[in-house]
Structure 1
Amino acid sequence: MPESRRDQKDPGLPLPTREGAEVAFERTVPARADRLHSRTKERIRALDVLFEADARRAPVLEVLAERRRHTAAQTPLPARAQELVELYASRAEEVDEQLETYTRDWPLRRMPAVDRAILRLGAAEVLFVTEPGERGAVIGEYTKIAEALSTDDSPRFVNGLLQRLVDLQGLLG
Protein backbone atom coordinates (compact mmCIF):
# COMPACT_ATOMS: atom_id res chain seq x y z
CA MET A 1 0.00 0.00 0.00
CA PRO A 2 1.46 3.42 -0.89
CA GLU A 3 2.58 5.33 2.18
CA SER A 4 0.52 8.47 1.45
CA ARG A 5 -2.70 6.44 1.12
CA ARG A 6 -1.93 4.53 4.31
CA ASP A 7 -1.36 7.73 6.28
CA GLN A 8 -4.77 9.04 5.27
CA LYS A 9 -6.80 5.95 6.24
CA ASP A 10 -4.81 4.15 8.92
CA PRO A 11 -5.73 5.03 12.50
CA GLY A 12 -2.97 2.71 13.73
CA LEU A 13 -5.01 -0.48 13.53
CA PRO A 14 -4.09 -3.53 11.46
CA LEU A 15 -5.39 -3.39 7.91
CA PRO A 16 -6.96 -6.34 6.12
CA THR A 17 -4.52 -8.70 4.46
CA ARG A 18 -6.56 -9.12 1.30
CA GLU A 19 -5.15 -7.04 -1.53
CA GLY A 20 -7.35 -4.11 -2.49
CA ALA A 21 -9.72 -4.42 0.48
CA GLU A 22 -10.94 -1.10 1.83
CA VAL A 23 -11.81 -0.63 5.49
CA ALA A 24 -13.84 2.29 6.74
CA PHE A 25 -13.00 3.01 10.36
CA GLU A 26 -15.78 4.53 12.41
CA ARG A 27 -15.04 6.77 15.34
CA THR A 28 -17.28 5.75 18.20
CA VAL A 29 -18.50 8.33 20.64
CA PRO A 30 -20.30 7.50 23.89
CA ALA A 31 -23.96 8.45 23.97
CA ARG A 32 -24.59 11.79 25.61
CA ALA A 33 -26.34 11.47 28.95
CA ASP A 34 -28.22 14.73 28.46
CA ARG A 35 -30.16 13.10 25.63
CA LEU A 36 -31.69 10.48 27.89
CA HIS A 37 -35.26 11.00 28.96
CA SER A 38 -35.74 11.83 32.61
CA ARG A 39 -37.62 8.53 33.11
CA THR A 40 -34.66 6.64 31.66
CA LYS A 41 -32.25 8.44 33.98
CA GLU A 42 -34.50 7.61 36.96
CA ARG A 43 -34.60 3.95 35.95
CA ILE A 44 -30.81 3.87 35.61
CA ARG A 45 -30.41 5.41 39.07
CA ALA A 46 -32.76 2.74 40.48
CA LEU A 47 -30.73 0.06 38.66
CA ASP A 48 -27.60 1.39 40.34
CA VAL A 49 -29.15 0.65 43.74
CA LEU A 50 -30.20 -2.88 42.74
CA PHE A 51 -26.80 -3.54 41.19
CA GLU A 52 -24.97 -2.30 44.29
CA ALA A 53 -27.17 -4.37 46.60
CA ASP A 54 -26.53 -7.45 44.48
CA ALA A 55 -22.77 -6.84 44.36
CA ARG A 56 -22.56 -6.28 48.11
CA ARG A 57 -25.05 -9.07 48.87
CA ALA A 58 -26.90 -6.54 50.99
CA PRO A 59 -30.65 -6.05 51.37
CA VAL A 60 -32.00 -3.72 48.68
CA LEU A 61 -33.82 -1.46 51.14
CA GLU A 62 -30.66 -1.11 53.25
CA VAL A 63 -28.68 0.10 50.21
CA LEU A 64 -31.57 2.41 49.29
CA ALA A 65 -31.49 3.93 52.78
CA GLU A 66 -27.75 4.53 52.40
CA ARG A 67 -28.30 6.18 49.00
CA ARG A 68 -30.91 8.46 50.54
CA ARG A 69 -28.40 9.60 53.15
CA HIS A 70 -25.35 9.78 50.93
CA THR A 71 -25.32 9.40 47.17
CA ALA A 72 -22.29 8.73 45.00
CA ALA A 73 -23.83 10.88 42.26
CA GLN A 74 -23.83 14.63 42.34
CA THR A 75 -27.61 14.79 42.60
CA PRO A 76 -29.89 13.13 45.14
CA LEU A 77 -31.64 9.92 44.20
CA PRO A 78 -34.87 10.95 42.41
CA ALA A 79 -38.16 10.09 44.07
CA ARG A 80 -39.22 7.95 41.09
CA ALA A 81 -36.00 5.92 41.34
CA GLN A 82 -36.67 5.34 45.04
CA GLU A 83 -40.24 4.22 44.24
CA LEU A 84 -38.96 1.73 41.66
CA VAL A 85 -36.45 0.26 44.11
CA GLU A 86 -39.15 -0.01 46.78
CA LEU A 87 -41.48 -1.67 44.26
CA TYR A 88 -38.90 -4.33 43.47
CA ALA A 89 -38.01 -4.81 47.14
CA SER A 90 -41.66 -5.32 48.09
CA ARG A 91 -42.12 -7.94 45.36
CA ALA A 92 -38.57 -9.32 45.10
CA GLU A 93 -39.44 -12.93 45.79
CA GLU A 94 -42.31 -12.93 43.29
CA VAL A 95 -40.31 -11.10 40.60
CA ASP A 96 -37.32 -13.43 40.97
CA GLU A 97 -39.60 -16.46 40.88
CA GLN A 98 -41.22 -15.20 37.65
CA LEU A 99 -37.84 -14.57 36.06
CA GLU A 100 -36.50 -17.98 37.12
CA THR A 101 -39.62 -19.69 35.80
CA TYR A 102 -39.54 -18.14 32.34
CA THR A 103 -35.84 -18.03 31.55
CA ARG A 104 -35.04 -21.20 29.71
CA ASP A 105 -31.89 -22.81 31.12
CA TRP A 106 -30.59 -19.45 32.34
CA PRO A 107 -31.03 -18.99 36.11
CA LEU A 108 -30.63 -15.55 37.65
CA ARG A 109 -27.34 -16.46 39.31
CA ARG A 110 -25.79 -17.18 35.88
CA MET A 111 -26.85 -13.88 34.31
CA PRO A 112 -24.55 -10.88 34.18
CA ALA A 113 -25.25 -8.70 37.23
CA VAL A 114 -26.31 -5.76 35.07
CA ASP A 115 -28.84 -7.90 33.20
CA ARG A 116 -30.14 -9.28 36.47
CA ALA A 117 -30.74 -5.76 37.81
CA ILE A 118 -32.37 -4.62 34.55
CA LEU A 119 -34.66 -7.65 34.45
CA ARG A 120 -35.63 -7.39 38.09
CA LEU A 121 -36.58 -3.74 37.87
CA GLY A 122 -38.17 -4.10 34.44
CA ALA A 123 -40.23 -7.11 35.50
CA ALA A 124 -41.43 -5.36 38.66
CA GLU A 125 -42.46 -2.30 36.67
CA VAL A 126 -44.24 -4.06 33.79
CA LEU A 127 -45.97 -6.64 35.98
CA PHE A 128 -47.12 -4.48 38.86
CA VAL A 129 -47.44 -0.79 37.93
CA THR A 130 -47.55 -0.29 34.19
CA GLU A 131 -50.88 -0.02 32.40
CA PRO A 132 -51.34 -2.62 29.63
CA GLY A 133 -51.13 -0.01 26.85
CA GLU A 134 -47.84 1.36 28.16
CA ARG A 135 -45.98 -1.92 28.69
CA GLY A 136 -44.41 -1.92 25.23
CA ALA A 137 -42.83 1.47 25.81
CA VAL A 138 -41.51 0.41 29.23
CA ILE A 139 -40.05 -2.79 27.78
CA GLY A 140 -38.45 -0.67 25.05
CA GLU A 141 -36.87 1.58 27.69
CA TYR A 142 -35.32 -1.35 29.52
CA THR A 143 -34.12 -2.78 26.22
CA LYS A 144 -32.39 0.53 25.42
CA ILE A 145 -30.86 0.58 28.89
CA ALA A 146 -29.53 -2.96 28.34
CA GLU A 147 -28.10 -1.80 25.01
CA ALA A 148 -26.25 1.03 26.73
CA LEU A 149 -25.09 -0.79 29.85
CA SER A 150 -24.60 -4.46 29.02
CA THR A 151 -23.45 -6.94 26.38
CA ASP A 152 -24.42 -7.07 22.72
CA ASP A 153 -26.80 -9.98 23.36
CA SER A 154 -28.47 -8.39 26.37
CA PRO A 155 -31.02 -6.11 24.65
CA ARG A 156 -32.61 -9.02 22.79
CA PHE A 157 -32.57 -11.18 25.93
CA VAL A 158 -34.11 -8.44 28.12
CA ASN A 159 -36.74 -7.61 25.51
CA GLY A 160 -37.69 -11.25 24.96
CA LEU A 161 -37.95 -12.13 28.63
CA LEU A 162 -39.93 -9.05 29.66
CA GLN A 163 -42.24 -9.58 26.69
CA ARG A 164 -42.71 -13.24 27.66
CA LEU A 165 -43.63 -12.22 31.22
CA VAL A 166 -46.20 -9.73 29.94
CA ASP A 167 -47.64 -12.20 27.43
CA LEU A 168 -47.98 -14.95 30.01
CA GLN A 169 -49.49 -12.57 32.56
CA GLY A 170 -52.10 -11.66 29.97
CA LEU A 171 -52.92 -15.35 29.51
CA LEU A 172 -52.88 -16.23 33.18
CA GLY A 173 -54.14 -13.06 34.83
Structure 2
Amino acid sequence: MTSNPDPAKPNQPRQANKRGAARLAAVQALYQMDVAGSGILEITAEYEQFRLGKEVDGAQYREADAQWFRAILAGVVENQKTVDPVIRQSLTEDWPLSRLDSTLRAILRAGVYELMNRSDVPVAVIVSEYVDIANAFYSEDEPKLVNAVLDRVARRVRGEGRGRDPGT
Protein backbone atom coordinates (compact mmCIF):
# COMPACT_ATOMS: atom_id res chain seq x y z
CA MET A 1 0.00 0.00 0.00
CA THR A 2 1.46 3.30 -1.06
CA SER A 3 0.42 6.17 1.10
CA ASN A 4 1.11 9.71 2.07
CA PRO A 5 1.45 9.18 5.83
CA ASP A 6 1.35 12.85 6.73
CA PRO A 7 -2.29 14.01 6.84
CA ALA A 8 -1.15 17.58 7.29
CA LYS A 9 -0.12 17.47 3.63
CA PRO A 10 -2.75 15.55 1.65
CA ASN A 11 -2.49 14.82 -2.07
CA GLN A 12 -4.62 17.11 -4.21
CA PRO A 13 -8.17 16.68 -2.87
CA ARG A 14 -11.15 18.06 -4.74
CA GLN A 15 -12.70 21.25 -3.42
CA ALA A 16 -14.73 20.65 -0.28
CA ASN A 17 -17.67 22.45 1.22
CA LYS A 18 -17.47 23.69 4.82
CA ARG A 19 -18.62 20.34 6.23
CA GLY A 20 -16.22 18.48 3.96
CA ALA A 21 -13.41 20.72 5.15
CA ALA A 22 -14.50 20.06 8.74
CA ARG A 23 -14.37 16.31 8.10
CA LEU A 24 -10.86 16.56 6.66
CA ALA A 25 -9.71 18.69 9.61
CA ALA A 26 -11.29 16.21 12.05
CA VAL A 27 -9.41 13.33 10.42
CA GLN A 28 -6.18 15.33 10.63
CA ALA A 29 -6.84 16.17 14.28
CA LEU A 30 -7.67 12.54 15.13
CA TYR A 31 -4.44 11.49 13.44
CA GLN A 32 -2.51 14.08 15.45
CA MET A 33 -4.14 12.93 18.68
CA ASP A 34 -3.27 9.31 17.90
CA VAL A 35 0.35 9.93 16.87
CA ALA A 36 1.32 12.71 19.27
CA GLY A 37 -0.90 11.69 22.16
CA SER A 38 -2.48 15.13 22.26
CA GLY A 39 -5.72 15.72 24.13
CA ILE A 40 -9.01 16.76 22.58
CA LEU A 41 -9.15 20.21 24.21
CA GLU A 42 -5.63 21.06 23.09
CA ILE A 43 -6.24 19.85 19.51
CA THR A 44 -9.62 21.55 19.19
CA ALA A 45 -8.17 24.88 20.34
CA GLU A 46 -5.16 24.53 18.02
CA TYR A 47 -7.28 23.80 14.96
CA GLU A 48 -9.83 26.49 15.63
CA GLN A 49 -7.25 29.15 16.43
CA PHE A 50 -4.47 28.32 13.98
CA ARG A 51 -5.68 26.00 11.22
CA LEU A 52 -9.32 26.19 10.13
CA GLY A 53 -9.43 28.75 7.33
CA LYS A 54 -5.83 29.82 7.99
CA GLU A 55 -2.55 29.52 6.09
CA VAL A 56 -0.11 27.06 7.66
CA ASP A 57 3.38 26.45 6.25
CA GLY A 58 2.36 27.88 2.90
CA ALA A 59 -0.77 25.72 2.64
CA GLN A 60 -4.18 27.37 2.89
CA TYR A 61 -6.66 25.46 5.02
CA ARG A 62 -10.18 25.76 3.67
CA GLU A 63 -12.81 27.48 5.74
CA ALA A 64 -14.55 24.78 7.75
CA ASP A 65 -17.72 24.42 9.76
CA ALA A 66 -16.12 24.63 13.23
CA GLN A 67 -19.22 23.24 14.95
CA TRP A 68 -19.20 20.18 12.64
CA PHE A 69 -15.46 19.74 13.26
CA ARG A 70 -15.97 19.82 17.04
CA ALA A 71 -18.94 17.43 16.84
CA ILE A 72 -16.99 14.82 14.86
CA LEU A 73 -13.90 15.10 17.02
CA ALA A 74 -15.79 14.94 20.31
CA GLY A 75 -18.11 12.24 18.98
CA VAL A 76 -15.26 9.96 17.93
CA VAL A 77 -13.46 10.43 21.25
CA GLU A 78 -16.61 9.91 23.36
CA ASN A 79 -17.82 6.92 21.33
CA GLN A 80 -14.54 5.19 20.46
CA LYS A 81 -15.40 2.14 22.60
CA THR A 82 -18.51 1.71 20.45
CA VAL A 83 -17.04 2.79 17.11
CA ASP A 84 -13.91 0.60 17.12
CA PRO A 85 -15.74 -2.74 17.53
CA VAL A 86 -18.05 -1.79 14.66
CA ILE A 87 -15.01 -1.11 12.47
CA ARG A 88 -13.39 -4.41 13.57
CA GLN A 89 -16.54 -6.33 12.57
CA SER A 90 -16.35 -4.79 9.10
CA LEU A 91 -12.68 -5.59 8.48
CA THR A 92 -11.42 -8.98 7.32
CA GLU A 93 -9.79 -11.17 9.96
CA ASP A 94 -6.36 -10.65 8.41
CA TRP A 95 -6.70 -6.85 8.76
CA PRO A 96 -7.30 -6.00 12.41
CA LEU A 97 -7.85 -2.36 13.31
CA SER A 98 -4.43 -2.22 14.96
CA ARG A 99 -2.80 -3.11 11.62
CA LEU A 100 -4.20 -0.03 9.89
CA ASP A 101 -2.08 3.10 9.89
CA SER A 102 -3.16 6.08 11.98
CA THR A 103 -4.57 8.05 9.05
CA LEU A 104 -6.76 5.18 7.89
CA ARG A 105 -7.97 4.55 11.45
CA ALA A 106 -8.86 8.25 11.79
CA ILE A 107 -10.83 8.21 8.50
CA LEU A 108 -12.75 5.08 9.47
CA ARG A 109 -13.46 6.26 13.02
CA ALA A 110 -14.86 9.58 11.82
CA GLY A 111 -16.92 7.95 9.06
CA VAL A 112 -18.33 5.24 11.31
CA TYR A 113 -19.12 7.78 14.01
CA GLU A 114 -21.16 9.80 11.50
CA LEU A 115 -22.94 6.71 10.17
CA MET A 116 -23.88 5.67 13.70
CA ASN A 117 -24.82 9.07 15.10
CA ARG A 118 -25.76 11.45 12.27
CA SER A 119 -28.88 9.92 10.77
CA ASP A 120 -29.67 13.40 9.39
CA VAL A 121 -26.81 12.98 6.89
CA PRO A 122 -27.40 10.56 3.99
CA VAL A 123 -25.21 7.45 3.84
CA ALA A 124 -24.05 8.33 0.32
CA VAL A 125 -22.78 11.72 1.48
CA ILE A 126 -20.83 10.28 4.42
CA VAL A 127 -19.30 7.44 2.41
CA SER A 128 -18.41 9.71 -0.52
CA GLU A 129 -16.82 12.39 1.68
CA TYR A 130 -14.62 9.92 3.56
CA VAL A 131 -13.63 8.09 0.37
CA ASP A 132 -12.59 11.51 -1.01
CA ILE A 133 -10.51 12.10 2.11
CA ALA A 134 -8.89 8.67 1.67
CA ASN A 135 -8.13 9.57 -1.96
CA ALA A 136 -6.38 12.72 -0.70
CA PHE A 137 -3.88 10.61 1.25
CA TYR A 138 -3.64 7.32 -0.61
CA SER A 139 -3.18 6.26 -4.21
CA GLU A 140 -3.77 2.52 -4.04
CA ASP A 141 -6.35 0.30 -2.31
CA GLU A 142 -7.05 2.29 0.85
CA PRO A 143 -9.95 4.35 -0.61
CA LYS A 144 -11.57 1.06 -1.70
CA LEU A 145 -11.14 -0.27 1.83
CA VAL A 146 -12.76 2.87 3.27
CA ASN A 147 -15.65 2.50 0.82
CA ALA A 148 -16.14 -1.19 1.64
CA VAL A 149 -15.95 -0.76 5.42
CA LEU A 150 -18.28 2.25 5.51
CA ASP A 151 -20.73 0.50 3.19
CA ARG A 152 -20.78 -2.59 5.46
CA VAL A 153 -21.26 -0.40 8.52
CA ALA A 154 -24.08 1.52 6.82
CA ARG A 155 -25.89 -1.74 6.06
CA ARG A 156 -25.45 -2.90 9.64
CA VAL A 157 -26.31 0.29 11.53
CA ARG A 158 -28.78 1.91 9.14
CA GLY A 159 -30.01 -1.02 7.12
CA GLU A 160 -28.86 0.64 3.93
CA GLY A 161 -25.79 0.75 1.73
CA ARG A 162 -24.50 3.39 -0.58
CA GLY A 163 -26.16 1.87 -3.63
CA ARG A 164 -29.62 1.63 -2.09
CA ASP A 165 -32.21 4.39 -1.90
CA PRO A 166 -33.17 4.73 1.77
CA GLY A 167 -36.74 5.55 0.69
CA THR A 168 -37.32 2.13 -0.83
TM-score normalised by L of structure 2: 0.71
8 Å Cα contact 2:26/2:73 also seen in 1 = yes
Q: Distance in 2 between matches of 1:49 and 1:41?
A: 12
1:64 maps to 2:47: no
1:116 corresponds to which of 99, 105, 128 = 105
Describe the shift of the 1:170–1:146 C-alpha distance in structure 2 as closer, same or farther (beyond 3 A).
same
Task: Give deviations 1:72-102, integer Å, cap 9, x for gaps.
Answer: 8547872211111011112111001111222
1:99 corresponds to which of 73, 80, 87 = 87
**How far does residue 144 in structure 1 lie from its aligned partner after superposition?**
1.1
Q: Any idea what SS the aligned residue of 1:91 has?
A: helix
8 Å Cα contact 2:90/2:149 also seen in 1 = yes
Describe the shift of the 1:52–1:101 C-alpha distance in structure 2 as closer, same or farther (beyond 3 A).
same
**How far does residue 65 in structure 1 lie from its aligned partner after superposition?**
4.3
Bigger helix fraction: 1
Aligned to 1:3: none
1:149 maps to 2:130: no
Describe the shift of the 1:32–1:59 C-alpha distance in structure 2 as closer, same or farther (beyond 3 A).
closer
Q: Distance in 1 between matches of 2:18 and 2:79?
A: 24
1:42 corresponds to which of 10, 18, 22 = 22
Aligned to 1:55: 35
**How far does residue 112 in structure 1 lie from its aligned partner after superposition?**
1.8
8 Å Cα contact 1:61/1:89 also seen in 2 = no
Report percent identity of matched pairs.
24
TM-score normalised by L of structure 1: 0.70
Task: Give deviations 1:129-155, integer Å, cap 9, x for gaps.
Answer: 1337x1112101111110112241111
**Shift >4 Å, 4+ stretches:** 68-73
Describe the shift of the 1:32–1:64 C-alpha distance in structure 2 as closer, same or farther (beyond 3 A).
closer
Name the structure, 1 or 2, with higher relative contact order (CA <8 Å, separation 6+).
2
User: Greater Rg, structure 1 or structure 2?
Assistant: 1
Describe the shift of the 1:32–1:148 C-alpha distance in structure 2 as closer, same or farther (beyond 3 A).
closer
Describe the shift of the 1:32–1:63 C-alpha distance in structure 2 as closer, same or farther (beyond 3 A).
closer
Q: Distance in 2 between matches of 1:45 and 1:125?
A: 15
8 Å Cα contact 2:13/2:135 also seen in 1 = no
Q: Distance in 2 between matches of 1:71 and 1:90?
A: 23
Q: Distance in 1 between matches of 2:107 and 2:81?
A: 16
Aligned to 2:125: 137
Q: Distance in 2 between matches of 1:39 and 1:152?
A: 25
Letter in 1 for 2:88: E
Q: What's the C-alpha RMSD, in Å, of the aligned pairs?
A: 2.5
